Amino acid sequence: MKNYKLNIPKYSLGFEVIGQWILYFTSIIVVYFLPSIIKYPYFLILLFITFISKKDYWWIAFFIIIFANIGGLFSQTSIAEGVYQRLPLYKFGPIRLPLYDMFLSLLLLKSIRYGKVRTFYNDLLSLIIIYILLLFMFSFVLGMDDNSLEAGLRFLIRASLFYSIPRIISTKDKIIKIHKLLFNGLIMVIISVIYTLITGYEIGNKFLNIYKSVYEFGEYRFLDSPYLIFLSFIFLSYWLISNENIGIKKSILAILMVLSYILIILSATRGWFISFTIMMLIILFMNLNKKGSIKNSIMVVLICFLLLFSLYTNFQNIFNNIFNRLKSIELLAKGDITAGGTLSRINVRGPAMLKKVKENPLIGFGFSKEYYIYADNHVGWIMQLLQMGIIGTLLIIYLFIRIVTHIRKIVKITNNSSYYVFIIGLIGLIIIHSTSTAIFSFTYLGAAGPIYELLVLMLTTIDVLTKEDSYLINKMEKSKI
């Protein structure tokens, strides 16, 4: 049973990948070069096709990539006065619905048609949902104005992903296909960042005639679609380590994984850099006994970057800037918790929020107006305590424990150690939550949409892959009896 082999078909998505690129560029033309009278019905038609289509995975991947805001494209709000080239905001009387909320609502309606799906975290998720609803009702007692009520309702719409995605993407075939289509999105991010590195401008800003070069600022930071990068990094790592063939060469998977890591380095974001570095080192250690796919890919990527470094002065300035920013991590290691005064969240913003937490430490301030006054999305754990209190935080920690114990159990059954990648991913998310931005919170603040997409796709992937593998193993064992 240690070296079991299953007849897995190759998953070819050539036509669907090409179709994704065609529709993506068509959407760029519609949003940036055609009048709004075309844009509004265009996206309504796409939503209708999504609802009736049997290729759910394709449309979910497409819209995730659209909403990832790659290169500043497809902004959901106006980024400059008078600019209307953004994703549509639909008005139904007094109700204003962004395209993103309409897409999530559509998925929720569509998922109702599917049968119930039993996941390894079902009971715990139900408990968390009950707690969220109690917090919501308690928030009315604490006081909610129109803004906090709207923010709470928008959070619930985003949280609906935890109901809809597991029902819609419930087979291994769909999981593999959506992963491969998301890798397509990663390639778009890579192209976008290369364009910005060379020209100094985001593609979206170029289309909007906003001439603001990143090189005009003192710090060069190239942060583009980080949650899509994280998701791709974890899935690439899994399929790289796995013995299964999904129709992509291991060398290609390795190159894309390494490029994901380089994209995070270019962001010069310390928490993300620490997270990805730790994950990368663990994954490299896990692959020491593998063939040279990762090592060869690292060499190819490094050679390309060294050539760019030697040819372009801008690249030298970029890496000097990144090095100087990341060097502040050394100050943290030496005991300076503010990293030379650059981390006010630790000695100023965090303690200020902690004072408020002490007023109601057990259940926090929920979705009330008071919560939104004091919340700071860059102080993960304290903001979590501020909103959901000790009880809610312990529920989230118990979910972590449930994930780890489930994966360890499945690895013991299947001897498929590649599942450990998802534990590594969880460690990476906890590091980001602890150092950079809140990941595990019930909030509308920050990049809540991409964060919930990341979390639910990771959970769904773990559930579907482990469920199918353990089922096949049990079936094989019974056939031997």
Looking at the predicted structure, is the pLDDT value of residue 349 above 90? no
Establish how many alpha carbons lie within 13 A of residue 468's alpha carbon, considering only the half-sphere containing its beta carbon: 15
Select, from the ranges 13-22, 66-75, 440-449, the one with the highest average predicted confidence (pLDDT). 66-75
Per-residue pLDDT tens digits for 107-128: 999 999 888 888 899 899 889 9
pLDDT of residue 392: 93
133 to 149, 277, 363, 370, 382: CA distances (angstroms): 13, 37, 12, 18, 21
Per-residue model confidence (pLDDT) at position 346: 63
| Measured distance between the N- and C-terminal CA atoms of the chain, rounded to whole angstroms | 14
Position of tokens 């070296």? Answer: 3
In this predicted model, what pLDDT tens digit does every residue of 222-231 receive, in sequence order?
778 899 999 9
115 exposed, middle or buried (CB, 10 Å; 0-12, 13-18, 19+)?
A: exposed
- What's the mean pLDDT in 160-172? 94
91 φ, ψ to 5°? -115, 130
Residue 279, both tokens = 């994950």
Averaged pLDDT score across all residues of the chain: 83
- pLDDT band at 335; cut points 50, 70, 90: low
Q: What's residue 9's pLDDT?
A: 46
User: What is the pLDDT at residue 83?
Assistant: 57
Between the alpha carbon of residue 71 and those of residues 50, 68, 77, 261, 347, the distances in Å are 25, 9, 15, 18, 33
Q: How confident is the model at residue 249 (pLDDT cuts 50, 70, 90)?
A: confident
Q: If you ran DSSP here, which 8-state letter would residue 217 be given?
A: S
Given a cut of 80, whether residue 253 has pLDDT beyond it is yes
What digits encode the pLDDT tens for the residues 74-101? 987 755 545 567 899 888 777 788 999 9
Q: pLDDT at position 152, please?
A: 87
Contact 242, 466 (CB under 8 A): no
Question: Which pLDDT score, from 0 to 100, does residue 294 have?
Answer: 63
Task: Please determine, for residue 4, whether its predicted confidence score (pLDDT) is greater than 50.
Answer: no
89 forms bridges with which residues in the sheet?
A: 98
d(C-alpha 435, C-alpha 26), whole Å = 39
pTM of the complete model: 0.88
pLDDT on residue 475: 58
Among 200, 224, 221, 306, smallest CA distance to 270 is for 221
Other beta carbons within 10 angstroms of residue 56's beta carbon come to 23
Q: Give the model's pLDDT for residue 354.
A: 85
Average confidence (pLDDT) over 59-88: 82
Query: Does residue 60 have a pLDDT over 90?
Result: yes
Please tell me the least confidently modeled range out of 33-37, 307-311, 381-385.
Answer: 307-311
